Structure 1
Amino acid sequence: MRPLRRSCGAAVLAFGVLSGPAAALERLEFRTPGAAEDVADALRAASLLVSSELDGQTDAQDLFAAARAEYAALLGALYAKGHYSGVITIRVDGREAASIAPLDAPGRIDVIEVTVEPGPAFRLSQAEVAPLAPGTALPPGFAAGQPALSGVVRDAAAAGVSGWRDRGHAKARVAGQDVTANHRDATLAARIALEPGPRLRFGPLTVEGAERMEVRRVVKIAGLPEGEVFSPQELERAANRLRRTGVFRSVAMTEGDVLSPDLVPITAAIVEELPRRYSFGAEIASQDGLSLTGYWLHRNLLGGAERLRVDGEITNIGAQNSGVDYTLGVTLDRPATLTPDTTLGFAAEIGRLDEEDYVADVATIGVNLTHYFSDTLTGRLGIGYEYANGRDRVSDFLFRNVSIPIGVNWDRRNDKTNATEGFYLDAEVKPFFGLGTTGTGARTKIDARGYLGLGAADRVVLAGRLQLGLITGSALLDTPRDDLFYSGGGGTVRGQPYQSLGVNVARGALSPKIGATHFIGTQLEARAMVTDRIGVVGFFDAGRVDLDGFFGTGGDWHSGAGLGLRYDTGFGPIRLDVAAPVSGTTGDGVQIYVGLGQAF
């Protein structure tokens, strides 16, 4: 970098004029003569003074401190763009900021002038990192003749170190670097020397910060493979297992000094969350009424990250076509059972369902295993007992069965509450074995969702959802009522009343509506952000139910469409949807839905 000198550029960018008390900054001028547009933008983004002015900073002491720190900030921005001969001048009321002693800081600042001449863009004349572990991939831009971006040089050094760490060399480091700028030719020679160090194995895990958690359970949950070859991926998996429990506010895994002969000890520094948490939620729809939900959670019941949760739900309060439903459930999950990635769970639930076509008291109890194959892919297997005692419009019924649900969840969304890219897939097959008059068969469900962001910062998002449901093996009237499929409402077809589409079955002199054995539903949305907080949504939903197969002769369609508003709260959008029927005979009039989070 050349010495600082006073300079006057032809192009001037004024960032506003502040007026106010005598101590206020009157003018900030930021000049970038000869800079390409992307370089000028990067310099403005890095400028502490520009940021101070935009924040309304007027204190002379703070402005002077920002001016003195401005050189390093702008220098870093120039290096990042491959400019190593830049000239930076920063004048505070006509005096170079670097020449003003800190103890001689001005008590008043009226004008600050920043001029950055970037100079030529440099290219790499040499690009070497050695020695490299077999299979190490360096950044494509780290090659002779490519732009000499400082970030690329740093990334190359980091990639070299990571390559050795991936092969078990936990203490690999940069041993030396020779980075030389040739100002005459506008080239940069970068030579980086690595020191791989010995190949190491995982040593013992030490836990720091445990208060209510038992240390042995922390070690068990982390599942660090002591004695095996060091792997940064295994280290990150261990940290993620601990985070996944929800017990810890923060988890940091660090490597200690090498123990004889080739062991590297690991320290897990943890900070525990408060053990208890509760939450309440509400959602309202004009046809379906008000739904209230809440839960109480204990994150660490017995000191081993056992997770006890009590859920309560009251739905369809004030619904036009059904009564009020009540459910109360308890779950207890224990991580690191059988394997570090397997969670054992117990669940029980009781409730009363007052639907349009039946009323029933229901109960379930079961045990399940959830296995985490990765951060995005999980599988589950369970066994449970299900009970339903009620009456439909024709007769009483009693359903009892033992079920074995088997499911998989693949979640590649970038945000679970407001996704802009990725996909989500949940599939479950639940064989059930009837007791008494209950039929035996299997219930299959698939829920697939996809998201595509368009434009700058994904300001427009196209979202789609496909739902499939299928009952096989069991006759319609021998199947538990809450296992059958309906369509209509916020979860399937907005604009149509909740569970308004079923099938009519002749039973004696009556032909009451009942749920179907086949269901297909789709929801399509176009989401657009109008401001940083407010978004608008257009949507179209459709659903179909059948008895004898998808698209059979006895099935029927209905659909709905509408518009919605979203307000981003930071932890999930508040949703307001207004929808009306498009096709079908199950609905008439406008439906309104209010809730937290996107519809899907």
Structure 2
Amino acid sequence: MQTIPRPSKFSLLAVICIAALGLGLRAGTAQEVTLSAPNAPEAVIDRLRRDALLLRQGDEADVRSGADITAAARADYGRLIGVLYEAGFFAPVISIRLDGREASEISPLSPPARVARVEIIVQTGAPFRLGQAQIAPLARDTDLPVGFATGQPANTALLRDATQAALLGWQNIGHANAALSHQRIVAQNRDAVLDVDIGLAPGPVIRFGDLLPMGQVRMQPARIAAIAGLPSGEIYSPTALNRAEARLRDTGAFGAVALSLAPAKGDNSADVTAIVEEAPLRRLGFGAELASDAGIQLSAYWLHRNLFGGAERLRFDLAIAGIDDIQSGDKIDTTLSARFDRPATFGPDTALSLEAETVILREPSYRIEGARIAGGLTHRLSDQITLSGGLGLEFSRIEDGLGRRDLTRLTLPLGLIVDRRDAVLDARRGSYLAAELEGFGLFGASSGARITLDGRRYWPLGAGRATRLAARGQIGGMIGADLADIPPDDLFFSGGAGTVRGQPYRSLGAMQSGLASGGRGFLGLSAELRHDLGESRFGLVGFADLGGISAEAWDIDGTTWHSGAGIGLRYTTPFGPIRVDLATPTSGTAAGRDLFVYIGIGQAF
């Protein structure tokens, strides 16, 4: 057995001294890094600071060695030149000194053991302008950037955009494999002029072949092809390829989708490979919202994404609203629904839906117990425009000021959505319009129609996207039908989170036939000023809402108004902003009396 000798006092002292020396050397390796870029625009300096590896802040305990510093410095020559080329400076002089020595002159095989001082000195030189600016040949209707012309400021981003636009011009008319044939870029440093001569090789016109699915497990290949709707036999188009990929992604049955063009065959056709990864079959979700005037709303759903192997969706939803007096249950509303969706039913852009729903609504002025079955079709005209139509049968048992009665009616809902927002969950620019017309006929009674419009617009303010203005307008009208033949929840009320924050929930209605009820006309206006707080996930919102109800549709003179205003806090998450709003009445019968709280997920609109 080997015996380990006990260390002497001298050896222990030596170990402690060596360790202390090592710690001292490590503590002394903190580097001082400076950047000097005289005459450079502030935006360029900021970009240089962001991109320089030497200026990146790491963990204080992770001190970089001399070898690390040398490697970062050698890489930063190229990184900083790239930044300057992007800004239009094509004759820069960059010096990176490590303790006074130029980094490019230090051998990577024998770097210094430590570096105490790093100096980055950038001389941008004069900004360049385009001299010769030529890309040829160009396809018809090619839209080159406006700045790609002699005498205009030159930068690599402009050259890249111009090249991509020229290639896309050929691809848009079927030349899928268009590529560069030559590229000559000459910088005349003395005159600060950049001459550009780019040649293109369009290649042959390509036609779409077959869609070849790969990676599917439960999905039927024939259904993947039907949903994608690839126009086989037609001339190649990047728009058609992107649309086919979007159709597959929009089903929700796939976690990932990627379409790519295979090499062309002898007949100048090319198959398309569709690599898919199926999403989990089932999903369970929950949600909650709180409004101090309407109580708590809880919701839950169960979803099957691929019921029969063709991306069919079956979803069950349960919603319980108005939970503010759980013991009596007098104000609790309950909705239970089931919905089946089948994409690509009568073509790749047309989906079929079947739905069944039961509701119990307990409002202060009425009570409804009802059931509904419906079927419909949704057709996407484009990425931004969607049409819908259907047929439904409803049964309602109603108790209100007119007494107790049963209504049975046939409904014909029609809808149009034009969505040009940049993001659904938190739009920062763009617009949204939803129009609905639901005609209904009652068995043995009068018929009518309900019309609604919901328009939204978003504007970024200033150079960045941190501050933006959001506005919303809502219009509603009920035409035809006697009051007794209209379910009370089809009439219009104002007040609460969806209309006027700061007013009690559904507090504004109208007098019809001597009875307090909802109105046949509604007008709502909302505005929000949204601002992100620096780089954090938090944001502030200031808002104002206005709502009006009239006894008759489109009767502005007979409209009664109320309004509310307040402030809100937003916290950004992957599933949408968490919203907390505080609002108070500013006009109407409740003005100045109460403070209302609204908590939910997603922007108010």
The partner residue of 2:443 within 419, 435, 440 is 435
Aligned to 2:163: 157
The partner residue of 1:409 within 412, 417, 425 is 417
Aligned to 2:175: 169
Q: Judge conservation of contact 2:130–2:193 (CA < 8 Å) in 1.
A: yes
- For 1:416 and 1:24, how far apart are their aligned partners in 2? 49
- For 1:196 and 1:207, how far apart are their aligned partners in 2? 28
Aligned to 1:284: 290
Letter of the 2:40 counterpart: A
Aligned to 1:228: 234
- For 2:345 and 2:113, how far apart are their aligned partners in 1? 66
Name which of structure 1's ranges 210-219 and 222-231 shifts more when overlaid on structure 2: 210-219
Is 1:466 the counterpart of 2:469 in the alignment?
Answer: no
- For 1:63 and 1:69, how far apart are their aligned partners in 2? 10
Q: Secondary structure at the match of 1:290?
A: strand
1:351-401 Cα deviation digits (max 9, x unpaired): 211111111211111111111111121110011111111322452111111
Q: Secondary structure at the match of 1:458?
A: coil
**What is the deviation of 1:554?**
5.9
Q: Judge conservation of contact 2:398–2:487 (CA < 8 Å) in 1.
A: no
**What is the deviation of 1:295?**
1.4
1:236-315 residue pairs with structure 2 within 5 A?
236-315=242-321
The 3 A distance-change label for structure 1 pair 484 and 457 is same
The partner residue of 1:498 within 491, 505, 510 is 505
**What is the deviation of 1:247?**
1.6
Is 1:190 the counterpart of 2:196 in the alignment?
Answer: yes
The 3 A distance-change label for structure 1 pair 53 and 184 is farther
Give TM-score, length-normalised by structure 1: 0.91
Name which of structure 1's ranges 224-233 and 258-267 shifts more when overlaid on structure 2: 258-267
1:220-249 Cα deviation digits (max 9, x unpaired): 111111111111111111111111111222
The 3 A distance-change label for structure 1 pair 512 and 203 is same
The partner residue of 1:48 within 44, 53, 63 is 53
- For 1:271 and 1:528, how far apart are their aligned partners in 2? 38
Q: Secondary structure at the match of 2:496?
A: coil
**What is the deviation of 1:23?**
6.0
1:471-486 residue pairs with structure 2 within 5 A?
471-486=478-493
1:283-308 Cα deviation digits (max 9, x unpaired): 11112111111212222121111111
- For 1:574 and 1:111, how far apart are their aligned partners in 2? 46
Aligned to 1:14: none
- For 2:324 and 2:234, how far apart are their aligned partners in 1? 61
- For 2:154 and 2:529, how far apart are their aligned partners in 1? 42
The 3 A distance-change label for structure 1 pair 554 and 132 is closer
- For 1:417 and 1:340, how far apart are their aligned partners in 2? 26
Aligned residues: 577
The 3 A distance-change label for structure 1 pair 109 and 322 is farther
Name which of structure 1's ranges 576-585 and 485-494 shifts more when overlaid on structure 2: 576-585
1:428-473 Cα deviation digits (max 9, x unpaired): 0001110244x31111111111222212423332222111111111
- For 2:163 and 2:128, how far apart are their aligned partners in 1? 19
Q: Judge conservation of contact 2:174–2:206 (CA < 8 Å) in 1.
A: yes
Aligned to 2:580: 576
Name which of structure 1's ranges 550-559 and 473-482 shifts more when overlaid on structure 2: 550-559
- For 1:282 and 1:147, how far apart are their aligned partners in 2? 53
Aligned to 1:341: 349
**What is the deviation of 1:149?**
1.2
Aligned to 1:35: 40
Name which of structure 1's ranges 68-77 and 415-424 shifts more when overlaid on structure 2: 415-424
Letter of the 2:97 counterpart: R
Q: Any stretches of 5+ residues in structure 1 without a counterpart?
A: 1-18
The 3 A distance-change label for structure 1 pair 584 and 551 is farther
The 3 A distance-change label for structure 1 pair 422 and 553 is closer
1:585-596 residue pairs with structure 2 within 5 A?
585=589, 588-596=593-601
1:58-81 Cα deviation digits (max 9, x unpaired): 332544432221111011112222
1:450-503 Cα deviation digits (max 9, x unpaired): 222212423332222111111111011211222111111111111221112222
Q: Judge conservation of contact 2:26–2:63 (CA < 8 Å) in 1.
A: no
1:65-104 residue pairs with structure 2 within 5 A?
65-104=71-110
Aligned to 2:9: none
1:527-554 Cα deviation digits (max 9, x unpaired): 2334433332222222222223333676
The 3 A distance-change label for structure 1 pair 329 and 118 is same
Letter of the 2:473 counterpart: L
Letter of the 1:525 counterpart: E
Aligned to 2:154: 148
Q: Any stretches of 5+ residues in structure 2 without a counterpart?
A: 1-23
1:251-303 Cα deviation digits (max 9, x unpaired): 22211111121212211122222222222111111121111112122221211
The 3 A distance-change label for structure 1 pair 497 and 410 is same
- For 2:457 and 2:151, how far apart are their aligned partners in 1? 41
Q: Judge conservation of contact 1:489–1:495 (CA < 8 Å) in 2.
A: yes
Letter of the 1:198 counterpart: P
1:179-238 Cα deviation digits (max 9, x unpaired): 222333332221111111111111111112112211111111111111111111111111
- For 2:596 and 2:43, how far apart are their aligned partners in 1? 49
Q: Secondary structure at the match of 2:34?
A: strand
Q: State the Cα RMSD in Å.
A: 2.3
Give TM-score, length-normalised by structure 2: 0.90
Q: Judge conservation of contact 2:491–2:519 (CA < 8 Å) in 1.
A: yes
The 3 A distance-change label for structure 1 pair 152 and 528 is closer
- For 1:97 and 1:577, how far apart are their aligned partners in 2? 56
- For 2:232 and 2:441, how far apart are their aligned partners in 1? 44
- For 1:476 and 1:378, how far apart are their aligned partners in 2? 32
Q: Judge conservation of contact 1:316–1:322 (CA < 8 Å) in 2.
A: no
The 3 A distance-change label for structure 1 pair 187 and 580 is closer
- For 1:108 and 1:298, how far apart are their aligned partners in 2? 60
- For 2:307 and 2:28, how far apart are their aligned partners in 1? 58
The partner residue of 2:543 within 527, 530, 539 is 539
Q: Judge conservation of contact 1:287–1:319 (CA < 8 Å) in 2.
A: no
Letter of the 2:599 counterpart: V
Aligned to 2:457: 450
- For 1:458 and 1:20, how far apart are their aligned partners in 2? 46
**What is the deviation of 1:317?**
0.4
**What is the deviation of 1:162?**
1.2
The 3 A distance-change label for structure 1 pair 525 and 67 is same
Is 1:317 the counterpart of 2:323 in the alignment?
Answer: yes
- For 1:505 and 1:465, how far apart are their aligned partners in 2? 28
1:110-154 Cα deviation digits (max 9, x unpaired): 222112222232322211111111222222222222223122222
- For 1:381 and 1:171, how far apart are their aligned partners in 2? 41
- For 2:117 and 2:350, how far apart are their aligned partners in 1? 64
Q: Judge conservation of contact 2:522–2:550 (CA < 8 Å) in 1.
A: yes
Instruction: Work out the percentage of aligned pairs sharing the same amino acid.
Output: 44
- For 2:206 and 2:110, how far apart are their aligned partners in 1? 55
Q: Secondary structure at the match of 2:539?
A: strand
Name which of structure 1's ranges 111-120 and 318-327 shifts more when overlaid on structure 2: 318-327
Q: Judge conservation of contact 1:357–1:512 (CA < 8 Å) in 2.
A: no
Aligned to 1:9: none
Q: Judge conservation of contact 2:402–2:484 (CA < 8 Å) in 1.
A: no
Q: Secondary structure at the match of 1:217?
A: helix
Q: Secondary structure at the match of 1:406?
A: strand
Name which of structure 1's ranges 296-305 and 227-236 shifts more when overlaid on structure 2: 296-305
Q: Judge conservation of contact 1:522–1:541 (CA < 8 Å) in 2.
A: yes
1:63-110 Cα deviation digits (max 9, x unpaired): 443222111101111222222222222223333333334443444332
